Structure 1
Amino acid sequence: MHFLLQHYWAIPIAILASIVVYQRFFHPLASVPGPFLASLTNFWIVHISQRGDMIAVFRALHAKHGPVVRVAPNEVSVADLAAFRNIYSVSSKFRKSDWYSVWQGHRKFDIFAGRDIKVHAQQRRLTARAFSLESLKELEPYIDNMIETFCRKMKGMAGEKVDMAYWLQLFAFDTIGEITWSKSFGYMEDGSDHGTFNNIHNIVISGTWLGYVPWLYWTHDGLMPYTGNWLGINGRHSGLRDFALKETQLRKDKPVEKQDMIGRFFDTSAKNSDAFSYNDVVSMGTTLINAGADTTAISTRSVIYHVLRNPEIKRKLVAEIDEMRSKGELSNPVTWEEANKMKYLQACIEEGIRVHPAVGLSLPRVVPQGGIDIAGHYIPEGKVVGTNAWVIHQNTEVFGEDADKFNPDRWLDEEKVGDMHRYSFAFGGGSRSCLGKNISWLEMSKLIPTMFLNYDIELWEGQPWEEECLFFVYVHNFFCKLTPRKDPAEL
């Protein structure tokens, strides 16, 4: 005892050394390669997520270590194709990890962040019909209204430097408002989001890193009555939800004839009030704002930017548009039915979301009972595995030797397109794939050809495109110049 009292400083060193030895040599994931610090603490991945370059880091780690990389004491990043299909299959038993708990908060109904597989299946059944393509096509005229507003605003800025990244986000949010509550937010008319985008950006910044240390979020949650709120993620549970609550109440007080998303949710709630309450309707509205608009804006930016960077690809896309228009087969705005027949347009969209998926993190899942073998490594139950779309979309076995290039033609190869779709991960996979995919696809398929039909679009040179990798991969410095075109039908 006297020795310990004299050398008390050695106790924490011994404890730390024991932790290091265990994590590096005796932990169930000790054989999985990866960064030294990642094997010891979750704060390594917290640091990477806060730094905003997780895409580059994860790609480099997989290039160095192979298909399985340890990125936290109890988490591995997976790029193995067989394991990917197992983890994210429709019948997968890999539930979402506690990373999502900070996004769900105390809400019982959360189609995005809910972690119980059976509960999610029930919630998805209640809401899936509203997201079906057939249901969304009924809202196409209202999307057309938003496209016409967008094109009118672009005409007013013809020849000028246009912040295309910002304007595509304004469009996406106004469209979400229009199809959800039958009420555009008016952002395009005002040319401003009035601070909404910054609030959501702060939510995403906070939620991205807190998901890796959920105990910190829940500790803060318990102390909030005494300390107040210090975390941006709570904007999803307060400010953003309050916004959705207000709009939903206004929509309830003033019914409309068209069957918008909230109207469909009200119908579902009326038939299943115990399983789908009014609060759950509000939660769906909150999710649509927080996730639906950003996903669409990011994906649309990628398609347009990469088309503009490749003159031959731009020429082929415009030629397809002009040919259909000159034959009287293309409306203005372009309809979904017309866009779906445009093979090269659809290939450009597929390729745009492949080279720049909207989500920049792995989608973490918990290994179920029995564990899983991945590329020679046994991962026991309870550990976390996840795949990053930015990694698997670079797989040359699936996407070809030029997987690092923007090449829409790859999607025209009928022999290979099936495999590429199986490993396309831009909207997640399996039973937890993004419900809003059809919204994004519908908007992109209509807006992009309408833009190229009406305008000659060029990149505004001088400022390089920049990516900020949080949960979403945001884009900065995407500026364009637009020049009105003559209608090909009149030439």
Structure 2
Amino acid sequence: MSSPQLTSVIPYIHILLTRDFYVVLPAVLICYILYQHLFHPLARIPGPFLASLTNWWYVRATRTETWHRIVVSLHEKYGPIVRIAPNQVSVGAPKAVRQIYPVSSTAFPKSDWYSVFRGTRRVDLFAGQDQWAHGRHRKMVVRAYAMDTLKDLEPYVDYCLELLVEQLDGRVGQKVDMAKRVHLFSFDVIGEITWSANFGFLTAGVDDGTFETIRTMGRSGSWLGHVPYVFRMHELLKPYIGNWLDRPAIRKSRGKKDLINRFFDAHEKNPEEFTYTDVISMGATQVSAGSDTTAVSIRAIIYYVLRNPSVKAKLVAEIDEARRKGELSNPIKHEEAAKLKYLQAVVSESLRVHPAMAVNLPRVVPSGGANIEGHYLPGGTVVGMSAWVVHKDKEVYGEDAHAFRPERWLERDTTDMNRCLLTFGAGSRACLGRNMAAQQMSKVIPTLFLNYDMELADPEKGWRIECLLFVAQYDMDVAIERRQDYPS
């Protein structure tokens, strides 16, 4: 356009901006609001007004670090299905678990929320969205997570457990921040079973800044997943601002049975499909995700047992009786702990009452659409379920579903309760490391209650909870004493 032509257009642009622009913009906004509330396929699904208009309502809700409570209140107010974003719903009905998270079908793939966590990594068993690729990669490494592998890994757990007991022995008669101590333990265990070398956090009593780095990543990822285009813009700018995340150098060691060596075995069998970079990615994911989820679960078990004296008495009695019968070692073996029925009930109840995951585990409705809770959801709709909601369902867990009561796992058939337990996800994409987490929980809890008498230092004071990617607990002071009635 020539300069004279441009000059002749300027007055019209001025008129548009000063008059028509302010008429057109409100009209467009009104039409958008009317569409979202009257004509959008999800218009009849109840939920917060702003949530129907923008994903940023969901972003703000997650950034309050109380999403685990917000999502429960939403379902209490609106019912079993709630619209939490323009194209996303939260489902709280347990019967939808198998539909949204099927065991064998790949009908509901993971949503774009996971792309933020995957980044540029080709292999990520948690965040990978390609169902076919996930199935292939899962088959390559599944043996590393099998139940019989736990026997090879147990000595690594025992080593860290002995370190934990040694540290606690030095603090008998004092207050111990058990939330912090458990985190140090879980991180060192992951280091041992992954690389045959712990991080030295238990011995030092502090971490090296890694915990804060992981928290920062969780804080960012938990909300960026709802607006992934912001993350992609950051990726485009990365050549100019640099990459502040360094990848560790990892190599195979000889004669070890840790996870990294098992990942390398998969790499050597399929070097093109499971590359060296994929080995690094698997190791890093194992450390960051495995340590936090296990720490959250162990903290929950200790906390709820100490807050319920009758539960503590039953648990200690079961542990002592097994010890007197010669059925428990010290430290306790996983196969021994698996036979302690009340202990396993306590573990299951703690995972139910305080699941580690904060997010709704979002999936995408397939192209043909789906009927969920009486509503037709068109293909492309994002749908997810929160463990914090499902675990409180009274039809599945009883009228006292809001209470901590391990006995519920011993009173009746637990098939439905276990099916709806979303602590480690569900279906074909359930967490591969759940057996390892169960092993750690089953060993550390009875070992602690066998050797120590523990009480909350201030029963009136609750712990501090931070809901990011995980619902982590902090400031859990426990008074510990060596047991004088230790069963020989």
Q: Bin the TM-score by the shorter chain.
A: over 0.9
Contact 2:451 2:486 in 1 (8 A): no
Matches within 5 A, 1:103-114: 103-114=117-128
**C-alpha offsets along residues 352-378 of structure 1, whole Å, 9 cap, x if unaligned?**
100000001100000002111112211
CA distance in 1, matches of 2:433, 2:375: 35
CA distance in 1, matches of 2:44, 2:78: 12
Structure 1 residue 486, shift from structure 2 partner:
3.5
Structure 1 residue 163, shift from structure 2 partner:
0.8
Contact 1:80 1:374 in 2 (8 A): no
2:99 is matched with 86
Structure 1 residue 53, shift from structure 2 partner:
1.1
Secondary structure at the counterpart of residue 148 of structure 2: helix
**C-alpha offsets along residues 138-191 of structure 1, whole Å, 9 cap, x if unaligned?**
111121110000011011011111111111000000000001000011000001
Secondary structure at the counterpart of residue 188 of structure 2: helix
The amino acid that maps onto 1:80 is: A
The amino acid that maps onto 1:470 is: L
- Does 2:315 match 1:302? no
Contact 2:68 2:471 in 1 (8 A): no
1:357 is matched with 355
Structure 1 residue 94, shift from structure 2 partner:
0.3
Secondary structure at the counterpart of residue 8 of structure 1: helix
**Structure 2 residue corresponding to 1:464, chosen from 462, 465, 473:** 462
Structure 1: any 5+ residue segments left out of the alignment? none
2:50 is matched with 37
Contact 1:102 1:211 in 2 (8 A): yes
CA distance in 2, matches of 1:256, 1:483: 41
CA distance in 2, matches of 1:100, 1:267: 27
Runs of 4+ in 1 over 4 A off after TM superposition: 1-5
- Does 2:84 match 1:71? yes
Secondary structure at the counterpart of residue 119 of structure 1: helix
Contact 1:328 1:489 in 2 (8 A): no
Q: Compute the TM-score of the two structures, normalised by the length of structure 2.
A: 0.95
1:173 is matched with 187
1:216 is matched with 230
The amino acid that maps onto 1:308 is: L
2:443 is matched with 446
**Structure 2 residue corresponding to 1:436, chosen from 433, 457, 463:** 433
2:342 is matched with 344
CA distance in 1, matches of 2:164, 2:133: 39
CA distance in 2, matches of 1:276, 1:487: 53
Structure 1 residue 433, shift from structure 2 partner:
0.3
1:59 is matched with 72
CA distance in 2, matches of 1:112, 1:73: 25
Matches within 5 A, 1:192-341: 192-226=206-240, 228=241, 238-239=245-246, 242=247, 245-246=248-249, 248-249=250-251, 252=252, 255-341=253-339
Q: Report the identity percentage.
A: 50
Matches within 5 A, 1:378-417: 378-415=376-413, 417=414
CA distance in 1, matches of 2:15, 2:96: 52
The amino acid that maps onto 1:322 is: D
Deviates more, 1:49-58 or 1:383-392: 49-58
Q: How many residues align?
A: 473
2:161 is matched with 147
1:377 is matched with 375
Q: Compute the TM-score of the two structures, normalised by the length of structure 1.
A: 0.94
Structure 1 residue 6, shift from structure 2 partner:
2.9
Contact 1:114 1:120 in 2 (8 A): yes
Contact 1:326 1:488 in 2 (8 A): no
CA distance in 1, matches of 2:487, 2:300: 28
**C-alpha offsets along residues 267-298 of structure 1, whole Å, 9 cap, x if unaligned?**
11111112211111101001111100001000
Secondary structure at the counterpart of residue 95 of structure 1: coil
Bigger Cα Rg: 2
Structure 1 residue 463, shift from structure 2 partner:
3.4
CA distance in 2, matches of 1:336, 1:55: 31
CA distance in 1, matches of 2:393, 2:49: 26
Structure 1 residue 224, shift from structure 2 partner:
2.1
Structure 1 residue 3, shift from structure 2 partner:
7.5
Secondary structure at the counterpart of residue 358 of structure 1: coil
Structure 1 residue 12, shift from structure 2 partner:
1.7
Structure 1 residue 36, shift from structure 2 partner:
0.1
The amino acid that maps onto 1:408 is: P
Structure 1 residue 19, shift from structure 2 partner:
1.2
**C-alpha offsets along residues 369-417 of structure 1, whole Å, 9 cap, x if unaligned?**
21111122110000100000000000000000010011100111233x1
2:151 is matched with 137
CA distance in 1, matches of 2:19, 2:434: 64
2:36 is matched with 23
CA distance in 2, matches of 1:323, 1:419: 31
